A and B are shown apart, each in its own frame.
Chain A
Amino acid sequence: MVHATSTHNRGKRSGDGGDPARLAREPKNWRPFLLLIPAFVIVSFFFLAPLVDVFIRSISDPVLGIQNYVWLFTTPTNMVVALRTFGTSFLVTIVCLLIAYPYAYLMTIVSDRTRNMLQLFIMLPLWTSILVRTLAWLVLLQDTGPINGLLQSLFGIGPLPLIRSTFGVALGMSQVLLPFMVLPIYSALAKIDKRLLPAAANLGARPVTAFFTVYLPLSRPGIFAGSVTVFILGLGFYIIPALLGSSKEIMMSALMYQQISGFLMWGQGTALGIFMLTATIVVLVLVGRLAKGTSLFAGRVK
């Protein structure tokens, strides 16, 4: 979806910019399209076909009809879980954004060597298993773990419900998803011309004003790309909520698992899946609307 957004932007730009060089580069014959066949085959067989299957099951299992969707919307638990899933994912997005923006900014002002180090720190967790990292959190955050122990001995508070709570889930997910926020923001910030802030100062803008009127608007494409990625990935998280969350406050992926694996209710499970997909698309469209006009021109720096 992120890629789709950027292609859309490029199309729009060449449309109003009328860049003849870019038009001339468009393929004139059909042969280059042969290169698309493998991708097309893979996408249709392994993505589109299962999706269609999921949709068909949701309206035909156990009998043809919309009873699964009626169940979905009339069972309060489902809506509570959906809201919790979106809410947690949103919270994680905000947390990641608040951590990632200054981090990405730091990456733009340091030397090449330090930048590589910072990049390594961000990428390193991606190379370790999610399960290992989540179990590590489990050890750290449990009631008898080192953090609670420290809090208790130093401040006499405690033990805080660091796991089996939304806090634990948000912490674990933020840590895993942080790279997906840092990298797009960094690539947006790196493109910003460093002379623009002195220029703004020269024109009479205080540093804070210059940030909000120049720097932040120009970094918006990175913010949107990162937020959308983190938000969508967050919606589908299963392991972290399962290990760090409370079994009484499950998220959507666990609910689906329960329906399909536990109760063998394929129709209801797939209906939940279709519902999440639709809801996600709606959110994306809304965000896209919001981003329009601000992200469009971000790549236009000459």
Chain B
Amino acid sequence: MKPETTTSTLDHNERELRQLHLNTEVISVINDAGISLRDVTKRYGKKAVVDAINLVIEPGEFMTFLGPSGSGKTTTLNMIAGFVTATEGLLHIYGKPVAKLPAHKRDIGMVFQNYALFPHKTVAENIAYPLERRKIGKAEQKTMIAGALDMVRMGEFGDRYPADLSGGQQQRVALARALVYKPRVLLMDEPLGALDKKLREWLQKEIKRIHREVGSTFVYVTHDQEEALSLSDRIAVFNNGRIEQVGSPAELYQKPETLFVGRFLGESTVLSGSMVGTVDGISTLDISGHAIRVPGQKKSSSLAILIRPENITLYEEGTEPGSSDMNTLPVTVLDANYLGSAWRCEVELPDGSVGTVREAHSAAVREPGTRALMRWNIDAGVLLEDTGDEGVSLT
């Protein structure tokens, strides 16, 4: 094994953890976690691709790394898998220090984006591969392979070669191969990226079902926010080599902590402005000359309010506000699309930027060019620091 070139050593048992002056609480968190990353950093030259990440993934949890390309999510996954060595930090899997362990000794399952099935082996031989490496007897191998194929509903395909299978079938074989030896951790690197939408949605359900069945810790990397929202117990949103926020899909969607997270997940309307004052925990912001109220308080020169489109209703100009806990902002309708279950309207905000609205009070306000009023409940707004991040959610 190569000696670490950095001052920080990565391989520690519990005694060594104590010597690092970690308190007992931290040590017990590391020991109880499915996967624990502490200050994990990966540098290429001077550039930190992954910058001091701290993350605890619970045993049996479905954790998704979500972020734009180049945000460090795949590098983090590759560090867990052992394909990339961390420059600094502590990496533990089920309490075991693994940072110095080569990939073939980590006993982790992995599903690759391009499937990475062995083209010269049949489906059954592919699935047998990890079992052969573990010196499992032929008879037992047979039962395990059959079980794994049944789990992914590919029972009849054992004798086929990967090239004879469709993309979705290959991905299911890859899943069976990664799970047949019952690893406690399964990593998935954009496994559905190359598939069409219908197949992707169906495989998402399959992956969820399999996660419930095997109960392993799943770590799933994707740049597709819908996929992340529908699959995960928790999501870690990556940006620029750091984790912006970790939380359940609902938390991230409803209570984003940064503008980046709010914009990356789902659609949003963002109003930029400056603080006027705070009364009883309700702040008033100056949005292009309009006083807009929002719960919370923040000390920053440039602030933003994020509202989800389904919480905003469009009214015709001149409509009186129904209650006092509503905000009103005049807008111009730019476009309206019928989505089946609702209309999606794009509106021009007072500062010229574009916002999205899901509900319209009457059909008249859907006409492009109409001046209208956009109204939402004060509590539906989220006060955030305006970091100037442009929306990247178009993936």
Contacts and interface: CB of A to CB of B under 8 A. Distances in A.
Contact of B114 (A195, A217, A298): A195
Contact of A198 (B103, B119, B134, B161): B103
Given A195-B116, A297-B120, A201 B103 contact: yes
A217 B103 CA distance: 22
B119 A218 contact: yes
Interface in B126-158: 129-130, 133-134
A204 B119 contact: no
A124 to B, nearest CB: 34
Given A202-B103, A204-B104, A302 B116 contact: no
Contacts of A210: 104
A132 interface: no
A294 B82 CA distance: 31
Interface residues of A, number: 26
Interface string B36-73: 00000000000000000000000000000000000000
A193 B118 CA distance: 9
Interface string A271-302: 00000000000000000000000100110111
B164 A213 contact: no
Contact of A300 (B108, B110, B163, B178): B163
A302 B103 contact: no
Contacts, number: 82
A204 B130 contact: yes
Nearest to A214: B118
A171 to B, nearest CB: 35
Query: Which among B81, B103, B107 has the greatest number of chain A C-beta atoms within 10 A?
Result: B103
B114 A198 contact: no
Nearest to B166: A302
Contact of B119 (A17, A203, A209, A298): A298
Interface string B92-123: 00000000001111111110101010111000
A60 B161 CA distance: 53
Contact of B133 (A198, A204, A301): A204
Interface string A185-207: 00000000101101111111111
A207 B133 CA distance: 12
18 contacts: A193-B119, A198-B81, A199-B112, A200-B104, A201-B82, A201-B83, A201-B102, A201-B104, A202-B110, A203-B181, A205-B104, A205-B133, A217-B120, A294-B120, A297-B163, A300-B120, A300-B161, A300-B162
Interface of B: 81-83, 102-110, 112, 114, 116, 118-120, 129-130, 133-134, 161-164, 170, 177-178, 181
Given A202-B104, A202-B108, A204-B130, 20 more contacts: A17-B163, A193-B114, A195-B112, A196-B116, A198-B81, A198-B112, A198-B116, A199-B110, A199-B116, A200-B104, A201-B83, A201-B104, A203-B104, A203-B177, A203-B181, A205-B104, A206-B104, A217-B120, A218-B118, A294-B120
Interface of A: 17, 193, 195-196, 198-207, 209-210, 213-214, 217-218, 294, 297-298, 300-302
Rank and list the top 4 A-B pairs by shortest CB-CB distance, nearest first: A300-B163, A204-B133, A199-B116, A203-B130
